[in-house]
Structure 1
Amino acid sequence: MSARRDPEGGGEDEDPASGAGDRLLVVRAAEGDEEAFEVLVRRHGAAALQLAERLMGSRAEAEDAVQDAFVSAWRKLPEFRGEAGFGTWLHRIVTNRCLNLLRARRPVADLDTVPEPAAPGHRSSPVRAAESHAAARDLDLAMRCLSTQQRVCWVLREIEGRSYESIAHTVRISPEAVRARVFRARRVLTEAMAAWR
């Protein structure tokens, strides 16, 4: 089960023993203890990869982003002040790494090139499975049509459940700008997925 951030983005709802364990591991890792850092990687790697995959839309790119994020976290550990949980801090590093990669990426699809889904026919299990796969593919294509900032804000809000203030802090824009980008992303995705309603 992944840790959830509080509505204000000030930390994570963690098992107190786990949070205390993270603090000790961070201190040891900051002093150069590689085994302590490996435990942190095992604890937080799956959640970091899930976030990166949602942001990047590609497992391979997500794995690269998370690996880079962990290298960056290792280097920045002496700067970690513990104002938020280690998981929250790591999520910020992963998000920023993904933002940089997405900004460098050229757009792969135009909204006009998103294929129309086939008309629904007989509803047997294989057909439902195929439709589900096609809808997921169309959503992925629609997500690629969003601007980098829209995609990141939408994923952090709608999938990760982060507050507007927390997202604003992570991507370094105002909460109002986050709201606007999430609104525009919702509109684009709603239009792109209208055939699936």
Structure 2
Amino acid sequence: MLLFNSGAGDAELIVRAAQEGDPGGFAQLFELHYAGMLAVANQILGSGPDAEDVCQDAAITAFARIGELRDPAAVRPWLHAIVRNNCRTLLRARKPIPVGVAGEDLQASALDDPVARIELSALRDWIWHGLRQLSPAVLPVAMLRYFTEHNSYEQIAALCGIPVGTVRSRLSEARRQLAVVLPRVRDERHEKALSAERRAEAEAFLSTAAGDTSLRSVHDRWADDLTMHWPDGRRSTGLKPVLDVMGLDYDDGVSYQLKTVVTGPGVTIWEHEFINPPEDPDHCPPAGTWLIREREGRVREVRLLHAPRPGRETPGPASRTSGRRPKS
């Protein structure tokens, strides 16, 4: 099934129209190239639903990164490269949907933040509006899959507290819903994304341990009875255990560098790096991802997952606290 449906035209003009924010141009782009993308997927994976899913995922990835394509004449190999990379990662059963395009000698931006890429695109309001219309069950799965760095099925399952099989089925449902939603909203007036507001909130929260932020602003948003799910499987209640752990990290010379903030109705995702002290570079894992759920404007549930340390394919419990390595 084609994700978008529209007429065809001059290929390079269509690419430029898509890059300038014309959803119709993006629709035409995929009508022109979808058959070739599917042929590539069929050659690698064989004909079937996996090949179709890979092409749908490639469409969404390309949608987010179309502004980075410097040479419109290279759009065909660029799209095929995304499909091939998605097929390879699917076969390796590792990160099934890389947010970026690796290899293939294709020029790309040096930006590391997938959300920053979308923010630079005139299409950002369209895709954010489409995401907001996904059902509550599939929204966080889609946000993690397409707009964060640590997006393997296993990592999404750990953050959402669901089986890997459920991740797969919810992503399939998200693709089905986006195929319906995105063309329908192309001419609507779009809401302004909450990204800037939520990014400021994330920066304020992560700097609380250093004493740079008033606790009042944090307590106003985070419910007293919130449930915190730690990477090692523990649960805690309330904000105090979270702030205590962050304070311990800060006392040990660790700081947090915010990278990505993705927001949707009732759901926000943070990604940050741990900046370890020079004398103890392995004190904390490389990075952390927070899946934050809210009701009635207040944070009620948080799940934290650590990125695997170099040499490990999947994240595991690093220690008893936020990111701290156990003391010997």
TM-score, normalization by structure 2:
0.26
More helix by share: 1
More strand by share: 2
TM-score, normalization by structure 1:
0.42
Greater Rg, structure 1 or structure 2? Answer: 2
Q: Per chain length, whose mean CA-contact separation is higher, i.e. which structure has more relative contact order (CA < 8 Å, sep 6+)?
A: 1
